[in-house]
Amino acid sequence: MPWSEIASKMNVSEATVYLRVKRLLNEGVIRGFTVRTDPSKLGLDATAFLLVRVRADSIAKAREMLRGLYFVIEAYETTGPYNFLVKVLAPSQRELSSAIEAIASTPGVVEVSSILALSEVKQSFSISSVYERWLSAKS
């Protein structure tokens, strides 16, 4: 949304919007700006979520390994029986299988459980509506 439109909706000047955005960037609230793409339009038709269990002495190495894999687009350290939840994109199930094998064959990885996504139901890149709802629920 253009800053002029934001300013108009908020009844403030564009300079005010600019300064507020700059402050939010400096404070790390806004991490940056990006373009939303459709993976399937780019030939990435296979999406999987992996639950990865590693030995306790390998967690740091697994964390770094996951950060370095090009096919891993999201990875979270988790509680429970698995150490990581990982989202992987690939052109096909064949390449997806190779990606899973690459993770599973990493020293220290004990188990990889995969969940193949059939279709996307919802994806949101804005947390503002979530934040506003939780904030209003407190009052």
CA 112 – CA 120 distance, rounded (Å): 22
pTM: 0.80
Given a cut of 90, is residue 3 above it in pLDDT?
Answer: no
CA 86 – CA 69 distance, rounded (Å): 11
Domains along the chain? Answer: 1-32 (1.10.10.10), 39-116 (3.30.70.920)
52 or 24, greater pLDDT = 52
> 32-89, pLDDT tens digit by residue?
887 888 888 999 999 999 999 999 999 999 999 999 999 999 999 999 999 999 999 9
> 88-101, pLDDT tens digit by residue?
999 999 999 999 99
Backbone dihedral region for residue 43 (phi beyond 0: left; psi -120 to 50: alpha; all else: beta): left
